[in-house]
Structures are given as C-alpha cells and as structure tokens.
Structure 1
Amino acid sequence: MRASLIQIGVDPDETPESRRARAGALVRAHAGADLIVLPELWPMGAFAYDLFAPEAEALDGPTATAMAAAARDADVWLHAGSIVERTADGDLYNTSLVFAPDGQLAATYRKIHRFGFAKGEKELMEAGEQPVTLAALGTTLGLATCYDLRFPELFRLLVDGGAQVLLLPAGWPEKRRAHWTVLAQARAIESQAYVLACGTAGTHAGVPQAGHSMIIAPDGEILAAAEDAEEQVITADLDLAAVAKYRESFPALKDRQL
C-alpha cells in the first residue's frame, strides 16, 4: 500500500475557500497513492480558536464536498484531516473525515481528547466518545487526532479493534516537536502497527507548527519524514503483511496482563 501525507501549510492570509481548492489539487496531484492523509483542522488552523464557530460546518459542508470530489477524482482513500463540525443542535466537534475512492464518506471520528486544558478546544468543543476503526485497503485503519497521541489507552483500544495502520492528523506546535517524534514512535512500537502522523506547516494564529510528518513502521523505524515545517508531501510503501508477521515474531501484545 502506498501512503502519502500532505503537510499542508496554513497561511493566515489565505482564505479557507482557497485552501480547500489547493488541498484538493494536492490530492489530485498524488493520485498514484492508495491512501492520502491531510492534517488536523487545516481549513482554518488548529489554534485559530476565534474561527472555530464561524468556520464550523456540517458533515456535508464545503470541506467535505471538496474532499469527496478530490478522493473520487484521484481514486484514492482519503483521510481528509479534520474539520470543526457543527451538529444540528449547535455543538462543535473536532471531526475527522475519511472518504472512499468513490467519494463516499466512509468514516468519521470525533476527537476524544481535546487540547487546551480549560481553554481552546476544551472550552469550545464537545468530546468524542468512541474509538473508530475502519476496514479498508485490505487492512484495518485506526483513527486518532493530535492530542490523542498522549493517551496510549486509546491506541490499545484501536489495536483491540483490529487496527494495523494508525492514522494521526495533527496541528502540533513547534515548541513540543520533540514530544511529537517520541510519542509517535512509541505508539507504533507498543501497538506494533504503522503510524501515519501528518502535521501542518506554517503558523496557526501565531503558533508555529512542528511539521515533521512521519510514516513509522511497526518496529518504530521512521520510513519517511518531512525535513522541516514547510509544506511538503512524504510517501512510503507499507507492507501490510509485515504487521502480522512482526506481531507473531515478537508477540509482546499477547503478554498483556492488565
């Protein structure tokens, strides 16, 4: 399986409409991939809290419409990162969208762990309640988002749900980039699963982004990584059969006691 991560740059002077069109063009330009992953909250920026409410949209809103068309045109599985979802009752969620190659919305995941302590997401958004896995591409994908990375129990539940490839869109800040690298590798090693960690480039509401997106093998080896926090695309070929082989040759998951 060929996977590409598009580390989209967020420029505060670019409108969400322009960024949606640009993201769609980037997806179409990488139609040779089987799976493409975009970052967290790229339409407005993960730290642009003042834009959350005005830019919130439904699951059939402008971002979903644009990304469904891009997935269909490129004939790829597309994890379109996340949007600020507004539900019918007015609640806001940080919601990831996954589209099948025919453009149909195949899965959604509402971020369980909201960042900000008493501010930011924690103040403005509701928390998701359920881990989400998805059968696709001959494997099982597990969905998580950014701050979720700090909570290994979620990843255990995803592995228990059959996940062999963990998809993690993020808007991770530069000042904690060292944590990003260590934690993403740890989740791969302890889960014995591929981790596709896609960050953003640029600056979100004055917060420089870490970038450094990574594709990590089940043994923790970094197969591909963005060189810096500039907009770029990284690609790697994943051997899906290697997950089961590695879990069998080093059966640490079978030794869990708690």
Structure 2
Amino acid sequence: MRASLIQIAVDPDESPNSRRARVTSLVAGQRGVADLVILPELWPVGAFAYESFEAEAEPLTGPTHQAMAKAAADAGVWLHAGSIVERAPDGALYNTALVFSPSGDLVASYRKIHRFGFDKGEATMMAAGDELVTVPLPGLPLGVATCYDLRFPELFRGLVDAGALAFAIPAGWPARRRDHWTLLARARAVENQAYVLACSTAGSHAGVPQAGHSLVVDPWGEVLAEAGEAEETLTVDLDPAKVTTTRTQFPALKDRVLATPPPRP
C-alpha cells in the first residue's frame, strides 16, 4: 500500500472555502500515486483559531464532507480527510475526523477523545468523543487518533486490541513542541509495533506557528520519511507484512500485563 500525507499550509488570509477547493485539487492529484491519502487536523479553519470555531462549524455532511467525498472518488483513494469542527444535531461542537472510501462513501468518523487546552480553547469549546475507531483498509487495518491523543498511549493500546496495524494521526501541532511530536510518534510506533502516519499542518493558526514535520514511522520505530516546515506531500510505501514480522520476531505485545496488584500499605 502506498500512502501520501499532505501537509497543508494554513494561511489566515485564505478563506475556508478557498482552502477546501485547493485541498480538493491536491487530493485529486494523488490519483494513480497513492492508495491512501491523509490530511491534517482542522485544516479548514485552523486548530488554534478558536474564535472561528462557532462560525465555521458544520454538520457531518457539510461542505468539507461534500468536497472530500468527491475528491476521494475522483482520485480513487482511501481518504482520511483530517478533521472538521462538527456541529452535532444537539448543537454541541466536536473535533471530528472523516474517512472516505475510494468510491467517496463516508466509512468512518472519529470524534477526538482528548481535547487540548486545559481550561481554554478546544478543551472548553468542544465536547469529547468516547469511541475508538478503526477502518478496515485492505490488508492494513487503520486506527484513528487526532493530535493531542498522541500523548495518551492507552488509546493506541485499545486500537491495537481492535486490530490496528497502522495509526493515522492528523494534527495541528505547534512549532514550539515539535520535538515532542517526533518523539511521541516514534514511541507509539515502537510500543505498538505498528506504522504511524502522522500528518501535521504548516503555516500559522491564529498566530501560532505550526510544526510541520509530518512523518511516517515503521513498526520498528524507524522514520521512513519526514517533511520540513512548509506545505509538502510525503509519499511512502507501506508493507503490512512488516508489522506481522516485527510482532513475531520481537513479540513484546504478548508480554503485556493488563493489571498489576495495588502497592502494599
């Protein structure tokens, strides 16, 4: 399987509608190049553009869904379309990832479980998801996580238990914590013996410079490709057999202890 990560530059002077049209063209350009395409987190509005969340929120089947469904079908690819600010029927906002099949059907959506911001921003404006999501890509079941989720290894253990051999992690990761981005992506790959496809944004969100440096990590923790700071597309061949081989030759997952006795008083 060949995967392309499109590291989109978010420019505050570019409207969400204009960016949707531009990204649609970028995805269409992957026809005949990739089997799987991954976009970053909240690229229509910007992950740190909190003041725009209410105005730019859309239903699950809103304009981003429509544009990306067509893009997936036109390119004939599995498309992880990053995430949107979803407005649920009850009015709640969610950071929601959308995954489309090569025919343009929405096959999965994932509401981000771990919201960033502590006592402000996303953490206070958005509701939390509560379901783990995997996508049955042919030969390479894909676990779905988003940005801040990367800091919580138990989520990825749950995805492994659900059969994931690879993780797609769209993000809007800030430049000032770029070292954490790379370190955590490699850690999730090593501890779960799975591919990590981590797609971040370039540019700036509401004055917050973005890290860029999208990367693909193999099940042994080796970085197969890494982007720079500008808009860029990474294209990498993935071998599902490498996950099986790694887990067989170094069967650390078999030694997991799911619970330990409490400490003695």
Q: TM-score range by the shorter chain?
A: over 0.9
Question: 2:262 maps to which residue?
Answer: none
Question: 2:63 maps to which residue?
Answer: 62
Question: 1:4 maps to which residue?
Answer: 4
Q: Report SS of the residue matched to 2:81.
A: strand
- AA in 1 matched with 2:135: L
- AA in 2 matched with 1:12: P
Q: Report SS of the residue matched to 2:245.
A: helix
The alignment's TM-score, normalised by the length of structure 2, stands at 0.96
How many residues were matched structurally?
257
Question: 2:200 maps to which residue?
Answer: 199
1:137 Cα deviation from its structure 2 partner: 2.2
Does residue 28 (structure 1) correspond to residue 28 (structure 2)? The answer is yes
- AA in 1 matched with 2:256: R
Deviations 1:3-55 (A, max 9, x none): 00000000000000000000000001111200000000000100000111100
1:139 Cα deviation from its structure 2 partner: 2.1
- AA in 2 matched with 1:4: S
Question: 1:144 maps to which residue?
Answer: 145
Cα-Cα RMSD = 0.5
Question: 1:51 maps to which residue?
Answer: 52
Runs (4+) off by over 6 Å:
none
Question: 1:220 maps to which residue?
Answer: 221
- AA in 2 matched with 1:26: L
* Structure 1 unpaired stretches of 5+: none
* Structure 2 unpaired stretches of 5+: 259-265
Question: 1:19 maps to which residue?
Answer: 19
Deviations 1:142-177 (A, max 9, x none): 000000000000000000100001000000000000
For the residues of structure 2 that align with 1:3 and 1:210, how far apart are their CA atoms?
21
Question: 1:99 maps to which residue?
Answer: 100
Does residue 235 (structure 1) correspond to residue 235 (structure 2)? The answer is yes
1:59 Cα deviation from its structure 2 partner: 1.1
Question: 1:126 maps to which residue?
Answer: 127
- AA in 2 matched with 1:203: S
Q: Report SS of the residue matched to 1:139.
A: coil
Identical pairs, percent: 66
Question: 2:158 maps to which residue?
Answer: 157
The alignment's TM-score, normalised by the length of structure 1, stands at 0.99
1:138 Cα deviation from its structure 2 partner: 1.9
- AA in 2 matched with 1:129: D
For the residues of structure 2 that align with 1:138 and 1:145, how far apart are their CA atoms?
22
For the residues of structure 2 that align with 1:12 and 1:205, how far apart are their CA atoms?
7
Which protein shows a greater Rg?
2
Question: 1:135 maps to which residue?
Answer: 136
For the residues of structure 2 that align with 1:229 and 1:23, how far apart are their CA atoms?
18
Question: 1:211 maps to which residue?
Answer: 212
Question: 1:83 maps to which residue?
Answer: 84
Does residue 254 (structure 1) correspond to residue 254 (structure 2)? The answer is yes
Q: Report SS of the residue matched to 2:136.
A: strand
For the residues of structure 2 that align with 1:169 and 1:124, how far apart are their CA atoms?
20
- AA in 2 matched with 1:66: A
Question: 2:263 maps to which residue?
Answer: none
